[in-house]
Structure 1
Amino acid sequence: MTQRKIEYTALDQIALDPLNPRLGRSAHRENLAPDEIYNLMRDWSLEELATSFLESGFWAHEAVLCVEEEVYGEERLVVIEGNRRIAALMRLKKAFDGDDTSKKWLEIIDGVDEPDDLFDQVPFIRLNSRNEVDAFLGFRHVTGIKEWAPPEKAQFIAKLIDENGLSYRDVMRQIGSKTPTVQRNYIAYSILMQMEETEGLDVGKVEDKFSVLFLSLARSDVREFLGVKEKFEVPPEQVKPAISKDYVQNLKEYSRWLFGDEENAAVVTDSRQVDKFAKVLASAEGLDYLRTVKRPSLEKAFVIAGGDQEELYELMTTAAYNVEEALSSIHHYAEDERLIRIVQRLSANVTQINKIFEL
Structure 2
Amino acid sequence: MSHNNPKFEIIPLDKLFLDDQNPRLPKSLQGAKEKDILEYMLLDASLIELMLAIGKNDFFPGEQLLVIQEKEGIYRVIEGNRRLSAVKLLNYPDLVSVQKSKIQQATTEAQYFPKEIPCLIFDAEENIHNYLGYRHITGIKEWKLLEKARYLFGLWKDQYSSLDLNAASRELAKSIGSRKDYVKRILIGYQIFYKIEDDAFYRIPGLDDTTFYFNYIADSLNKPHIANYLGLDVKNIDDIDEITINDEHLENWTRWLFEKNSEGRTRLIGDSFHLNALNKVLSHNEARAAFIEKGYSLDLAIDLTDEADSQFYNYLNSALSQLQNSDRLVVKVNVRHAIVSEQLKEIRSLAVKINRSLQEKEEDEDDI
Q: Which moved more, 1:193-202 or 1:94-103?
A: 94-103
Deviation, structure 1 residue 275: 0.5
Q: Aligned to 1:22, what secondary structure does the other structure show? A: coil
Q: Aligned to 2:7, what secondary structure does the other structure show? A: coil
Change (3 A) 1:176 1:47: same
Match of 2:147?
A: 152
Deviation, structure 1 residue 200: 7.5
Match of 1:81?
A: 79
Are the aligned partners of 1:201 and 1:261 in contact in 2 as well (CA < 8 Å)? no
Change (3 A) 1:191 1:199: same
Deviation, structure 1 residue 46: 2.0
Q: Aligned to 2:269, what secondary structure does the other structure show? A: coil
The answer as to 2:141 corresponding to 1:142 is: no
Deviations 1:236-283 (A, max 9, x none): xx1334324xx3222222222233379996321241310011112222
**Structure 2 counterpart of 1:352, from 329, 336, 360:** 360
Match of 1:304?
A: 304
Identical-pair percentage: 24
Deviations 1:44-88 (A, max 9, x none): 212333233233322322110011237xxx973111000000000
Q: Aligned to 2:20, what secondary structure does the other structure show? A: coil
Q: Aligned to 1:90, what secondary structure does the other structure show? A: helix
- The two structures, once aligned, show a CA RMSD in angstroms of 3.4
Deviation, structure 1 residue 184: 0.7
**Structure 2 counterpart of 1:9, from 3, 8, 11:** 11
Change (3 A) 1:197 1:56: closer
The answer as to 2:231 corresponding to 1:227 is: yes
Change (3 A) 1:266 1:350: closer
Q: Aligned to 2:59, what secondary structure does the other structure show? A: coil
For residues 200 and 88 of structure 1, the distance between their equivalents in structure 2, rounded to whole angstroms, comes to 33
Superposition map of 1:66-145 within 5 A: 66-69=67-70, 76-95=74-93, 102-110=100-108, 112=110, 115=113, 118-119=114-115, 121-145=116-140
Q: Aligned to 1:249, what secondary structure does the other structure show? A: helix
Match of 2:164?
A: none
Deviation, structure 1 residue 174: 0.8
Q: Aligned to 1:60, what secondary structure does the other structure show? A: coil
User: What residue identity is the alignment partner of 1:20?
Assistant: N
For residues 194 and 96 of structure 2, the distance between their equivalents in structure 1, rounded to whole angstroms, comes to 43
Deviations 1:80-104 (A, max 9, x none): 0000000000111124999988333
Unmatched 5+ residue regions in structure 1? 319-340
**Structure 1 counterpart of 2:25, from 23, 33, 55:** 23
* Residue-pair matches, total: 321
> TM-score normalised to the size of structure 1?
0.77
Deviations 1:301-356 (A, max 9, x none): 222344314435778999xxxxxxxxxxxxxxxxxxxxxx9xx9698576334314
Match of 1:325?
A: none
Name the larger-Rg structure.
1
Q: Aligned to 1:80, what secondary structure does the other structure show? A: strand
Match of 1:35?
A: 35
For residues 51 and 98 of structure 2, the distance between their equivalents in structure 1, rounded to whole angstroms, comes to 13
Deviation, structure 1 residue 132: 0.4
Deviation, structure 1 residue 182: 0.6
For residues 199 and 125 of structure 2, the distance between their equivalents in structure 1, rounded to whole angstroms, comes to 31
Match of 1:289?
A: 290
Match of 1:243?
A: 244
Change (3 A) 1:99 1:131: same
Deviation, structure 1 residue 221: 0.8
Q: Aligned to 1:304, what secondary structure does the other structure show? A: coil
For residues 286 and 349 of structure 1, the distance between their equivalents in structure 2, rounded to whole angstroms, comes to 23
For residues 282 and 108 of structure 2, the distance between their equivalents in structure 1, rounded to whole angstroms, comes to 60
Q: Aligned to 1:62, what secondary structure does the other structure show? A: coil
